[in-house]
Amino acid sequence: MKRKKNVTLGEFIIENQSSFAYSTGELSKLINAIRLAAKVVNHEVNKAGLVDIIGDVGETNIQGEEQQKLDVFANDKFIQSLKNREIVCGIASEESEEFISINSNDERNQNKYVVLIDPLDGSSNIDVNVSVGTIFSVYRRITPVGTPVTLEDFLQPGKNQVAAGYIVYGTSTMLVYTTGAGVNGFTLNPAIGTFYLSHPDMQFPETGTIYSVNEGHYIHFHQGVKDYIKYCQKEEEDRPYTARYIGSLVSDFHRNMIKGGIYMYPKSSVTEEGKLRLLYECNPMAFLAEQANGLAIGGRSRILDVVPTELHQRIPFFVGSRKMVEKLQEFLDKYH
């Protein structure tokens, strides 16, 4: 269905609410809460360097990474926004060791959704003024409504997601999301603080000419990935491909979805389990990719079929244009 541009995000949510399988208005309120927090975080990101918001806070998060000031700020703002709207029963953040249960032991609380979020992906790039982003994922809870949420509500395979998306804070700020009926992108007009539909029905080109991987770790990659990288670099009619790696998953994914390409963060002899988080990064991006005619795998398996075992589980991640991921799969299969 061809969608018209210049529709605000609020109007779009209302117009398309009936197409959502669980149309009760809650999901619309949830997306609106994320929209509000995104505008607040965008304001702070754009002030970085003018105020004391860049740099680390001298602490590490559950991932063992130094927390940036903006990490903490973004985490607080998204959690606060979701709590204040009283629309979710649980939140899990990449920045927090445990999930947060929100009034879910109150029988009057009928909230059905849990949210998993990476508040500020690529935050180490803030100090050098490179694009960063936010990633979010939404599930319907498994445990009974009116009871406290449990870990089971968060450890669901990605195919159970009811919504997912990201915000990229770049030369313009965009919110891109799906509820399982295609992917649409909205650009913020900073003059009036409103998101407008700017990229309707986003699709990965079937193939592309960009590969995104941290080649500084090449020596540690498994042989199938090394062979594919050499394939990308080989002089042929349609190659070599162009290497583009920003170091922010949101930014690399966003570029590749628009221009055509593949993003790779493989396991290695150093990070045998992979580095990216299944629940906060891989699942939402895989859901978006499949809704936009792309593919996402973790090696031999489809990302969205993986059953999580830990809240902060890591996994290898390959996502992008369909034909490029299929070609990579051929190289990986040679060594299994």
> DSSP string covering 138-184, please?
EEE-SSPTTS---HHHH---GGG-SEEEEEEESSSEEEEEESSS--E
**Dist. CA 20–CA 333, nearest whole Å:** 37
258-293 burial, b if ≥16 CB within 10 A, otherwise e?
eebbbbbbbbbeeeeebbbbbbbbbbbbbbbbbbbb
DSSP-assigned states of every residue in 15-75: HHGGGSTT-SSHHHHHHHHHHHHHHHHHHHHHHBTTBTT-SEEEEE-TTSPEEEHHHHHHH
328's enclosing H/E stretch is: helix 322-333
Residues in a beta bridge with 318: 264, 297
Give the residue numbers of the binding site for substrate: 121-124, 214, 245, 275
| Per-position DSSP letters for 199-261, written without gaps between them | ETT----SS-SEEE--GGGGGGB-HHHHHHHHHHHS-BTTBPPEE---S-HHHHHHHHHHH-E
Task: List residues forming the annotated binding site for Mg(2+).
Answer: 94, 118, 120-121, 281
Binding-site entries: 94, 118, 120-124, 214, 245, 275, 281
